[in-house]
Structure 1
Amino acid sequence: MSLTPDRPAVTSDLRFHPTTALIGADVTGIDLRQELDAETVARLRHALLKYKVLFFRDQAIDDDQQIRFTRYFGAVTPAHPVTNGLEDHPEIKVNKLFGGIQEYPAFRLDVDHPLRPVSRSRKGRGWHTDITFVANPAAITILRGVEIPSYGGDTVWADLEALYDGLSAPLKGFLDGLHAIHVRDDAANGLPRPPRYDGRAPGPFASLHPLVRVHPETGRKALFLSTGFVKAIDGLQPSESAALLDYLNEELSGHADYQVRFRWAPNSIAVWDNRSTSHFGPVDGPHLKEQRIVHRTTVGGDLPIGPDGFVARPLVGELFNTIS
């Protein structure tokens, strides 16, 4: 007898196939068009903690089914704290890239925008953890390939726990007590965002986070790096802060052994633990010749806690809410 969307799918064939020796796994033996039973959800959640990124192929689901799948991991947020989601599906953020034209123009000082603030560029600037400019960033992200170029458009993830583990003991001890300022202010960069459908302010946002966060479920430590959003380390001199962040970001971008790369296809899905990973994608975005469209949903997160007991707090702007 065939399964119906209303009947939980018992997925006895569910399998996880490690993608690298450290991070990532391909998932087979599951049909996300169907509802999932409690045992399957528990296995997926356990695998996500273990592998940090899960990859699904040939999952022809729609927006409603993506939102339902997201709910298995927790309460769903709006699409984004700054930009609107779809009017009929406010949980869905549509990321579009047309022939190399990025969704977010570069925040660059030029003769047409001479008053934009200048931020020092850093190696690996494309690496980020989602939405860290709020004090409670999303815990888990789900990204679905809708329209994918015939080649290019890959995403890369890095294991932030492995990155922390690879540092020397004296440096770990120093980093464990540091706190970083994460900021996003589109209006200050000359790109004010339109009003949000839900009436919440589209920014500015700033938060103070531990530089090392303790995973709320596993207790493991991870470097809490989000290159584009981390502006300074609290308490350090500007030159000290810049030098330390440059070093850490070079470690993040330079360790291929801590990374996994995913080749997208239509109906592919990636699910990642935003508390233990950083990602960069599409890695060749400016060079793409074809359209790339992906739909994103996120699960609400908590306030990150550092090894010293410091709890992240907002400096400017609201916490990130959940809606379904």
Structure 2
Amino acid sequence: MSTETIVKTVTSAVGQLSVQPAQADSTSTVQSEDTYKYQHLLPAFDNNKKYAPLRAFDHVDPGHRALSHPNPISFLGNATRVTEMTPNLGTEVEGVQLLSLSHQERDQLALHVARRGLMVFRNQNDFIDSGIDSYREWGSYFGRLHIHPTSGHPLNAPELHLVYRDAHSTFNFELDDRITTTLWHTDVSYEVQPPGLTTFFLVAQPSTGGDTLFVSTVSVLKSLSAQFVAFLRTLKAVHSGIEQADHSRSGKRGGVVRREPVETIHPVIRKHPVTGEEALYINKQFTKGIVGLKREESDNILNFLYDHVAKNGESQARVHWTPGTVVLWDNRVTAHSAIVDYKESKERRHGVRITPQADRPVSALEA
């Protein structure tokens, strides 16, 4: 099968879909698409399917149940290695198979991800190869699965968000007129109920590069002065999905908008519903302004906070991807950024994100 014939349009029960090409597999060897193991997970873009606005729902965080457990980290009992990645963020685990966790152990997992912000599980090939229905079941345990309004998804599986780049295509939200691809953000924070515990893994990766940066927005907040934090607690900001939708409407990233974009007001500091910890909740991709402040006032505060997040190395961790790695993070207490440093290699980076929604953000002043 030639590269030119790989790009195709197929008709399915969900409408007209464009299924896009790719080039290199997880071992960075070039092969035709009919032998690519994860062809069923290639990005598809439905040009006809539209979704109604998201409705509010009652979210019950599984981590709550683990709070009363006498040993809430017993799910790590069979681990062969547990490493704290940094003092403030991240735990790396070997020897625990995610697919084998009981419901009680999943509750403990949710609590530990909330407390540590980030967990990296190695040697999870069984999880990665378990298939789309398994991904749905896994994610649904932690919340209502989010359908992204603009990103690619596997054919007939809109609940899975795909991150994709190869020698010919990119469906990442990248701006080529910037000097860096680093863009700290929390996922789809413009939603009324943004994501909580999120699961992500790569099914193909470049031979080097393509790491992901994470930052603890709890730790970042703690490094600010008490007086300034007290002021920030009184503020709310607008998070907008309009720019992302317009980016797609311009013909980029697949060119689809499945659900009309929304703008939502969230507190600048939110309180985690399980741990009670406060975290800074702004991000440069979606936060457009602070409510009630004049533009210059808002811009100065937000730019200071963006700069603080970007430069706060004490609060950051870096995930180096190896085959079989599955990463879980809590979008309520972290931000992250992909590192697109592998462009010149022309290799494929193909990731799958399972994104359950959680609670509506509330501040400590509201709780």
Query: What TM-score, normalized by structure 1, do the two folds share?
Result: 0.79
Report the Cα distance in structure 2 between the residues aligned to 1:49 and 1:267, rounded to whole angstroms.
23
Contact kept, 8 Å, 1:125 with 1:228, in 2: the verdict is no
Contact kept, 8 Å, 1:59 with 1:268, in 2: the verdict is yes
Any idea what SS the aligned residue of 2:355 has?
Answer: strand
- The residue that corresponds to 2:331 in the other structure is 274
Q: 2:94 aligns with which of 28, 39, 43?
A: 28
- The residue that corresponds to 1:6 in the other structure is none
The question of 1:150 aligning with 2:219 is answered no
- The residue that corresponds to 1:191 in the other structure is 250
Greater fraction of residues in helix: 2
1:108: how far off?
8.2
For residues 198-209 of structure 1, what are the structure 2 equivalents within 5 Å? Answer: 201=259, 203-209=260-266
Greater displacement, 39-48 / 204-213: 39-48
Report the Cα distance in structure 2 between the residues aligned to 1:36 and 1:105, rounded to whole angstroms.
34
Report the Cα distance in structure 2 between the residues aligned to 1:179 and 1:195, rounded to whole angstroms.
27
Any idea what SS the aligned residue of 1:299 has?
Answer: coil
1:19: how far off?
1.0
Amino acid at match of 1:85: H
Q: 1:73 aligns with which of 142, 160, 181?
A: 142
Report the Cα distance in structure 2 between the residues aligned to 1:187 and 1:46, rounded to whole angstroms.
33
Deviations 1:22-77, CA, capped at 9 Å, x for gaps: 11011222223x44223422331232122110101121123333333323433333
Deviations 1:176-206, CA, capped at 9 Å, x for gaps: 010111112245455264253xxxx2x2221
Shift in CA distance, 195/135, structure 1 to aligned 2, threshold 3 Å: closer
Report the Cα distance in structure 2 between the residues aligned to 1:153 and 1:123, rounded to whole angstroms.
13
Shift in CA distance, 132/187, structure 1 to aligned 2, threshold 3 Å: closer
Any idea what SS the aligned residue of 2:323 has?
Answer: coil
The question of 1:138 aligning with 2:195 is answered yes
1:20: how far off?
1.1
1:17: how far off?
2.1
Amino acid at match of 2:154: L
For residues 261-300 of structure 1, what are the structure 2 equivalents within 5 Å? Answer: 261-284=318-341, 286=343, 289-300=346-357
Report the Cα distance in structure 2 between the residues aligned to 1:142 and 1:105, rounded to whole angstroms.
19
Report the Cα distance in structure 2 between the residues aligned to 1:298 and 1:73, rounded to whole angstroms.
9
Report the Cα distance in structure 2 between the residues aligned to 1:122 and 1:247, rounded to whole angstroms.
19
- The residue that corresponds to 1:258 in the other structure is 315
Report the Cα distance in structure 1 between the residues aligned to 2:182 and 2:296, rounded to whole angstroms.
18
Q: Relative contact order, CA 8 A, sep 6+: which one is greater?
A: 1
- The residue that corresponds to 1:88 in the other structure is 156
Contact kept, 8 Å, 1:97 with 1:103, in 2: the verdict is yes
Please report the RMSD computed on the Cα atoms of aligned residues, expressed in angstroms: 2.6
Query: What TM-score, normalized by structure 2, do the two folds share?
Result: 0.70
Report the Cα distance in structure 2 between the residues aligned to 1:204 and 1:24, rounded to whole angstroms.
32
Shift in CA distance, 30/240, structure 1 to aligned 2, threshold 3 Å: same
Any idea what SS the aligned residue of 1:43 has?
Answer: helix
Q: Structure 1: any 5+ residue segments left out of the alignment?
A: 1-9, 110-120, 311-324
Report the Cα distance in structure 2 between the residues aligned to 1:227 and 1:288, rounded to whole angstroms.
28
1:161: how far off?
0.6
Aligned residues: 283
Shift in CA distance, 249/171, structure 1 to aligned 2, threshold 3 Å: same
Shift in CA distance, 211/74, structure 1 to aligned 2, threshold 3 Å: same
Amino acid at match of 2:286: F
Q: Structure 2: any 5+ residue segments left out of the alignment?
A: 1-74
Shift in CA distance, 228/290, structure 1 to aligned 2, threshold 3 Å: same
Q: 1:17 aligns with which of 52, 61, 83?
A: 83
- The residue that corresponds to 1:315 in the other structure is none
1:87: how far off?
2.8
> Alignment identity in percent?
29
Contact kept, 8 Å, 1:154 with 1:282, in 2: the verdict is yes
Q: 2:359 aligns with which of 290, 298, 302?
A: 302
Amino acid at match of 1:194: V
Contact kept, 8 Å, 2:181 with 2:339, in 1: the verdict is no
Any idea what SS the aligned residue of 2:308 has?
Answer: helix
Shift in CA distance, 124/289, structure 1 to aligned 2, threshold 3 Å: closer
Report the Cα distance in structure 1 between the residues aligned to 2:300 and 2:180, rounded to whole angstroms.
12
Contact kept, 8 Å, 1:71 with 1:299, in 2: the verdict is yes
Greater displacement, 96-105 / 150-159: 96-105
Report the Cα distance in structure 1 between the residues aligned to 2:246 and 2:162, rounded to whole angstroms.
24
Shift in CA distance, 177/124, structure 1 to aligned 2, threshold 3 Å: farther
